[in-house]
A and B are shown apart, each in its own frame.
Chain A
Amino acid sequence: MELINVLVVDDHQMIRDGIRISLSDIADIRVIGEAAHSAEALKQLREHVSVQVVVMDISLGDETGGTETTRQIKEQYPEIAVLALTMHNEEPHITSMLRAGATGYILKDTGMDELITAIRTVASGQTYFSKEVAATVMNRFMTHSSHRQPNGQIETLTPREREVLQLIAQEFTNHEIADRLFISPRTVDTHRRNLILKLNVKNTAGLVRYAIKQNLVDL
């Protein structure tokens, strides 16, 4: 059995102690160093050339942070695996950590077994994500981005926008549309402006043309 040398990077002494103690009984894992921040982590790596896995927190309480520290480690020591151990289970955190080069991502409220499995998995060159993290990442790929360029797709219109567009195409004025839909003329105007932007047309005439093309109005 090969021994895995681990460097723990976390700005909280309590956590570093906890990790060390929970791993103390594990025969093939040895915590050979601890660091509270980025500079210390890089210093430790220079001293302990045998480190295979860095267990990395994301919030380090200093300017550099876990993501940037990970990037620097991977730049200098591409063979070292970085396992994120964090309380953040938000997609942006996960994504940016993975981009920085982390190959594992688990949460701090994870079980003992998972921590050990994760360390062993990333040490072997594979990736490891805890169940919750995997779910978050999956969701990220399942849900298409809500941030988009105007593409003129009719599907992007809300039911109300569709109604407003139909009425605009039938040459109703803001006031008439407002009366029909029980909304204020000002809101109608906002809808009109939003529609022009979303459908990537220049003006109200563009909206009418679009509505006709999409068969939203009977001619």
Chain B
Amino acid sequence: MIQPTVSESIFESIFHSSTLGILVVDATGTIEIANSYTEQIFGYGPHELAGYPLEILIPTQLRTKHQQLRKQFQNQPKIRPMGQGRYLLGQRKDGSQFPVEVSLSYADVEGKRSAIAYVADITKQQEARDRNTLLTRIFQESLHPIYVIDAAALHFVRFNQAALNDLGYSLSELRQLHPWDIKLDMDQSAFQRTIKPILAEEVAKVTFESVFVRKDGTTFPVEVHLQSFRYDHRHVLLQTVLNISHRKEAERALIQEKETAQQYLDIANAIFVLINQDQTVALINQKGCELLDYCEEDIIGKKWFDHFFPERVREEVRSIFHRAMQGAVSEIEYAENWVLTRDKKERLIEWHNTVIQDANGQPTATLSSGVDITDKRKAEQAVTRALIEGQEEERQRVARELHDGLSQSLTAIRLHLNALETDVAQSNERNQEAFAKLKTILQITTREVKDISYNLMPSVLRDYGLVKALSFLCQTINETQQTQINLQMYGLENEPDEQLKIGLYRIAQELINNALKHAHAQRIDMQLIEHSNSIVLTVEDDGVGFTIENDSVGFIPTPSSGSQNGFGLKNIEARLKLLSGTLEIDTRPGKGTLITVEIPKI
């Protein structure tokens, strides 16, 4: 290998100062000599390479192939000058790879053939070349940060301007960094664990959320996509990064909004419950859980009507729900219902319902807000009870005074007049006439006082109970009025309690009065029927009827204005409220009136 015209020392200095890597390799592929530049570009120390197989400088995956090529060359050497060289990948001591151009020659010295390789680091040239291709432009100009990571050495090989802008590093600074250096929440081993599946080619891509750290220490959330691919015989990882600050913020805002809404729902004094078409509970707020005394998990998914409604109202409410699901919306906007708590107590809820529809206008659920009015209703009932009981007491007091005072006085007058009768009979005609007149007036007055007293507090009701009192009431009307009342009563073997007895009597009386006074009825059918759970009073007449205007507040429809006013329905309403009863009016002008009162038995 020593040229006769050049002295050894000069050659050596040229050899070592060459800006081309020069390697001398023996027939077995072992490096005999490598010049300084070679050591430099491959990252080795002085004289470190001598004695190693040449393949140490070749990326692992290319070594076998290279060995074959090398053996071929050994047998049939062929000079390959610079410029016609092959573009290959070199591998540095640290495992990183870089593009090299290699030209070859050989020398036979003392019967031994050595191969001489000239290696140039063409990273710069390749970058310069790459910079001008369309793909490179796209890579560079992309507003999304893109990083190319050497799969073995795990440092950044390339990255685009967006990456630099994103992180605030200069090109040379970023080159020094590893992928985990810019990730707040990842160290080297975590990063290696993350990329393991793509390196093992189990998956094509991994995506994860991370937080990037800028040069100035500030951070931002990102979504990182990593994929592995080979390029110019190099194994690299492509890392594309999406800044998800906005998304995170939106998510946070959304969560916050949800939490706020939930909070509103939870602190609201109303119960909110969403019922699916299949009658299961889709949603219920804190207040609803508290009321029913279950935790949320025990309510969600349960059949609403089966679990949380008392049996006696269940089917009716369910059928209303069914109708709502069939599109008959107006029926359910407002309702009062009893619900059943865990300890089987009943609470009265005032509901406002909305039917939720899908995009096609098909009902899919109901959203109900409810307020527990049990206590309110009780308080109202207490007030009403006090009023009604006070009224009844006052009536009884007045009735007693009329009966014990005025009536007795009138009777006494009558009896004393009787004592005069014999004398008057002997007196003149004028006195006799005056006496007779006096007795007639007295009789009428006595009757009137008695009627007033009876109406105030029917002695039959007090002494003989509801059945007798109603029979007597109807009998009296049948004797004195044109209208005929047919009374039928079923059950009622046991006298209802005082309040129910007086309440039912007064309601019946009031309804009969309405039929007589306003309806001009010929016939009234009154029925009092005791069912297992309730008592039903119906009063039906064949009179003039009227138009019902729906009263949105009260539960009793208000008859239209005019002569029908002052119907006594307010009184009935108050009594019914006290007895937790309901009233239903069915009427049309000219078609009579049917009033149904139902009172639950306690």
Q: Is the CB of B418 within 8 A of A194?
A: no
Q: Is residue A215 within 8 Å, beta carbon to beta carbon, of the partner chain? A: no
Distance of A22 Cα from B422 Cα, bound (Å): 10
Known: A160-B540, A183-B586, A198-B529. A22 touches B487 (CB 8 A): no
Provide the bound-state CA to CA distance between A12 and B412, in Å: 9
Q: How far is the CB of A194 from chain B (nearest CB, A)?
A: 5
Please name the residue on chain A nearest to B523 by beta carbon: A159
Determine if A81 is an interface residue (Cβ-Cβ < 8 Å): no
Is A117 located at the chain interface by the 8 A CB criterion? Answer: no
Which of A91, A146, A197 has the largest count of B CB atoms less than 10 A from its CB?
A146
Whether A25 lies near B460 (C-beta < 8 A) is: no
CA distance A92 to B473 in the complex (A): 12
Which A-chain residue is minimally distant from B526 (CB atoms)?
A146
Q: Are B446 and A112 in contact (CB under 8 A)?
A: no
A148 to B531, CA, bound (A): 14
Contacts of A136-173 to chain B: CB distance below 8 A: 139, 143, 145-150, 156, 158-160
| B540-A158 in contact (CB<8A) | yes
Interface range on chain A (Cβ under 8 Å from partner): 35 or more
The answer to whether B416 touches A193, judged by C-beta atoms less than 8 angstroms apart, is no
Q: In whole angstroms, what is the CA distance A158 to B412 when docked?
A: 48
Which chain A residues lie closer than 8 Å to B586 at the CB level?
A: 182-184, 187
Interfacial residues of chain B within 406-455, with CB under 8 A of chain A in the complex: 407-416, 418-419, 421-422, 439, 442-443, 446-447, 450
Q: Total A-B pairs in contact (CB under 8 Å)?
A: 140
Which of A21, A61, A139, A156 is in CB contact (< 8 Å) with B488? Answer: A156
Tell me, yes or no, whether A88 is within 8 Å of chain B by CB.
yes
Is B490 within 8 A of A190, CB to CB?
A: no
B415, A18: Cβ atoms closer than 8 Å? yes
Any A CB within 8 A of the CB of B63: no
In the complex with contacts A148-B488, A148-B490, A158-B527, A87-B412 CB distance below 8 A: no
Look across to chain A and name the residue whose beta carbon is closest to the beta carbon of B450. Answer: A87
Instruction: Verify A187–B411 contact, CB threshold 8 A.
Output: no
Interface segment out of the listed B133-141, B178-186, B213-221, B463-471: B463-471
With A15-B411, A93-B460, A158-B486 as given contacts, are A21 and B529 in contact (CB-CB < 8 Å)? no
Q: For B591, give the chain A residue with the smallest CB separation.
A: A182
Residue on B with the closest CB to A91?
A: B472
Look across to chain A and name the residue whose beta carbon is closest to the beta carbon of B487. A146
Provide the residues of chain A in CB contact with B447, threshold 8 Å: 109
In the complex, residue of chain A having the shortest beta-carbon distance to the beta carbon of B444: A109
Partner of B472, one of A18, A90, A193: A90
Q: Is the CB of B418 within 8 A of A115?
A: yes
CB distance from B186 to the nearest CB of A (A): 68
Q: Which residues of B are found within 8 Å of A150, using beta-carbon distances?
A: 490
Known A15-B408, A147-B467, A150-B490; judge A194-B459 contact (CB<8 A): no
**Closest-CB distance, A6 to chain B (whole angstroms):** 14
Chain B contact patch, size range? 35 or more
In the complex, A121 has a CB within 8 A of chain B = no
User: Is the CB of A14 closer than 8 A to any CB of chain B?
Assistant: yes
B86 touches A (CB below 8 Å): no
Instruction: Tell me if B459 and A146 are in contact (CB < 8 A).
Output: no
Residues of B within 8 A of A147 (CB): 467, 471, 489, 492
| Contact in complex: B489, A12 (CB < 8 Å) | no
Within 8 Å CB of B492, what residues of A?
147
Known A88-B459, A148-B488, A148-B490; judge A14-B409 contact (CB<8 A): yes
A19 within 8 Å of B by Cβ? Answer: yes
Does B584 lie at the interface of the complex (its beta carbon under 8 Å from any beta carbon of A)?
yes
**Is there contact, CB below 8 Å, between B416 and A22?**
yes
Which residue of B is nearest A26, CB measured?
B422
Q: Mark B498-532, 1 if CB is under 8 A from A, else 0.
A: 00000000000000000000000000010101010
A171 to B415, CA, bound (A): 68
Inside 8 A of B531's CB, which chain A residues have their CB?
193, 197
B588→A182 contact, CB < 8 A: yes
**A139–B478 CA distance with the chains assembled, in angstroms:** 11
- Does residue A40 face the partner (Cβ distance < 8 Å to B)? no
A52 to B175, CA, bound (A): 137
Interface residues of A in 195-211 (CB under 8 A from B): 197-198
Identity of the chain B residue whose Cβ is nearest the Cβ of A149 in the assembled complex: B490
Chain B residues lying within 8 Å of A149, measured Cβ to Cβ, are 490
Q: Are the C-beta atoms of B403 and A87 separated by less than 8 Å?
A: yes
B536 within 8 A of A: yes
Residue B368 lies at the interface, judged by CB distance under 8 Å to chain A? no
B469 CB → nearest A CB, Å: 8
Q: Is B479 an interface residue (CB 8 A)?
A: yes
Complex contact A146–B596 (CB within 8 A): no
Chain B positions near chain A (C-beta within 8 angstroms):
403-404, 407-416, 418-419, 421-422, 439, 442-443, 446-447, 450, 459-460, 463-464, 467-468, 470-472, 474-475, 478-479, 486-492, 525, 527, 529, 531, 536, 538, 540, 584, 586, 588, 591, 594, 596, 598
Query: Could you list 22 A-B pairs, sorted by A, with CB under 8 Å?
Result: A12-B412, A15-B412, A17-B416, A21-B419, A22-B415, A22-B421, A59-B459, A61-B404, A87-B411, A87-B446, A92-B472, A109-B410, A109-B411, A112-B421, A143-B475, A146-B487, A146-B488, A148-B490, A194-B527, A197-B531, A198-B488, A198-B529
